[in-house]
Amino acid sequence: MQVPLCQAKADFFRMLGHPVRIRVLELLQDGPMPVRDLLAQIDVERSNLSQQLAVLRRSGLVDSVREGDTVVYSLAGADVAELLRAARGILAELQADDGPERVLARR
């Protein structure tokens, strides 16, 4: 049975709804990065990062390759970076229109 497009979109945005996942995607916009570098940039436990990377990998937003004893992650496509840029633009517009207090209150 096919899932309606609106439901698929809701599921997709729900999957993105974690700050660690968003931060990982932002960092990977600059290019592939090993897990140790992601850990250095994101203040979370290794197990938490591993869980969030697994969600992103299952969703198809990131790819991973093993290089020796290191796993390197990268964005699966340019569309992911485009989505993040669009979100940043929307948030900037909201802040300009309402001020940062109102944007934060909408969370």
How does residue 95 score in pLDDT terms, banded at 50, 70 and 90? confident
How does residue 107 score in pLDDT terms, banded at 50, 70 and 90? very low
Residue 29 pLDDT > 70, yes or no? Answer: yes
The answer to whether 25 and 56 are in contact (CB under 8 A) is: yes
**Closest C-alpha to 42, from 59, 26, 57, 63:** 26
**Closest C-alpha to 74, from 35, 28, 22:** 28
**Closest C-alpha to 53, from 69, 74, 67, 29:** 74
Q: Domain coordinates of the chain in residue numbers?
A: 1-76, 77-107
What's the CATH number for 1-76? 1.10.10.10
Residue 40 pLDDT > 60, yes or no? Answer: yes
Unique residue bearing structure tokens 């900037």? 92
Cross-strand bridge partners of residue 65: 72
